[in-house]
């Protein structure tokens, strides 16, 4: 009995220590938010902190790192996107990690969250997964060396019926 409890406790601790800080739904939610709202969403839970701000083509791009001893393990970039003629901003959120298990977990989450996989292919460097729904286009890159990867969540213009 004590041995089973010890094993369960060790598994729980290891899962907590190495768990990723964000889900596919979190990334999609962040893509719907303004820069200030996205910053608050990511930093209020004390999971990420601002690494630096950058101005690119009139956009304020914010780079955030995971808080903790492995703070370079997970990075999120917010503030990128395309402005439509109507003035609406279609945002892009980029997540990068040096832990392939995080990317594999996010691929599994995308498959089970109702997103449609449009394509699975590869190039010289990455396995590439395209997921899509009415609101987002998600591109997942997993390096062939299975060491790192990234995810780009692109907000789509939704033309719904009122």
Domain-embedded: residue 8:
no
CA distances, 95 to each of 3, 55, 57, 70 (Å): 39, 19, 21, 15
How many domains are contained in the chain?
1
Domain-embedded: residue 160:
no
The boundaries of the domain holding residue 125 are 19-155
Domain-embedded: residue 1:
no
- For the question of whether the overall pTM of this predicted structure is more than 0.85, the answer is no
pLDDT tens digit sequence for 84-139: 888 888 999 999 999 889 999 999 999 999 899 999 999 999 999 999 998 999 99
Domain-embedded: residue 39:
yes
The span from the CA of 54 to the CA of 118, in Å, is 33
């Amino acid at each position: 009995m004590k041995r089973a409890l010890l094993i369960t406790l060790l598994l729980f601790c290891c899962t907590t220590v190495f768990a990723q800080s964000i889900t596919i739904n979190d990334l999609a939610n962040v893509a719907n938010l303004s820069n200030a709202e996205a910053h608050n969403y990511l930093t209020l839970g004390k999971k990420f902190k601002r690494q630096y701000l950058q101005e690119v083509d009139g956009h304020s791009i914010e780079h955030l790192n995971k808080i903790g001893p492995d703070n370079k393990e997970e990075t999120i970039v917010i503030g990128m996107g395309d402005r439509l003629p109507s003035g609406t901003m279609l945002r892009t959120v980029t997540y990068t990690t040096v832990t392939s298990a995080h990317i594999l977990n996010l691929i599994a989450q995308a498959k089970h969250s109702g997103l449609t996989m449009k394509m699975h292919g590869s190039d010289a460097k990455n396995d590439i997964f395209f997921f899509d729904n009415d609101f987002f286009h998600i591109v997942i890159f997993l390096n062939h060396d299975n060491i790192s990867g990234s995810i780009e969540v692109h907000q789509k213009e939704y033309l719904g019926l009122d």
